[in-house]
Amino acid sequence: MAIRQIRLKGDEILSKKAKPIEKVDEKIKELAQDMLDTMYQNDGIGLAACQVGMLKDLIVYDVAYVEENGTKEPVVMINPKIKSRSKNMVVVEEGCLSFPDEFKEVTRHEKVTVEYLDIDGNKKVKHAKGMEAIVIQHETDHTEGITFVERD
Ligand code: NI
């Protein structure tokens, strides 16, 4: 278990686009595990690789952890791509581990379908709604160099 340092607002890496991961090797697996450890350690529900200083197209999240108080259901998504979005929108107050003490209402799609590789490099499709859909949109924004404070 290794906790990595979280890059904070003003760090230029947060506005850069991540590079696709070509091979899911041990280094990527270690990075994903470190990101989860770092996220849990900081009471976050999602984290993108740029937030620990790596311009890799990788996100992790766990929405069960907050909602069900202690149950861990970590999700790792490699090269996540949102393939479809519901027309229906929802407004939720968001925060971000890179912006401590900042919260903002952001309008997001209620549902999204995302394609990604899992930690074993298998192609997956997820239909997400509710908090999970919001976290996926927030974290995939990070992989594009976009932070929630730029969203309305
Ligand atoms: Ni964030």
The tens digit of pLDDT for each residue in 6-21 reads 999 999 999 999 999 9
Percent of the chain with pLDDT over 70: 96
Domain membership of residue 97 as a residue range? 12-150
CA dihedral 16, 135, 80, 71 (to 10 degrees): 130
Higher pLDDT, 69 or 125: 125
Does 121 map to a domain?
yes
Beta strand 75-85 pairing with 58-61: antiparallel
Give the residue carrying structure tokens 């209402």. 105
Q: How far apart are CA 68 and CA 109, in angstroms?
A: 23
CA of 23 to the centre of ligand 1 (A): 25
Reported pTM: 0.95
In the predicted model, what is the mean pLDDT of the chain? Answer: 95
Using DSSP, state whether 119 is helix, strand or coil. Answer: coil
Does 3 map to a domain?
no
pLDDT, tens digit, for every residue of 61-120?
999 866 556 688 999 999 999 999 999 999 999 999 999 999 999 999 999 999 999 999
CA of 152 to the centre of ligand 1 (A): 15
- To the query of whether residue 139 is one of the catalytic residues in this protein, the response is yes
Set 26, 68, 105, 139: catalytic member: 139
Does 6 map to a domain?
no
CA of 100 to the centre of ligand 1 (A): 10
Does 44 map to a domain?
yes
CA of 25 to the centre of ligand 1 (A): 25
CATH assignment at residue 51: 3.90.45.10
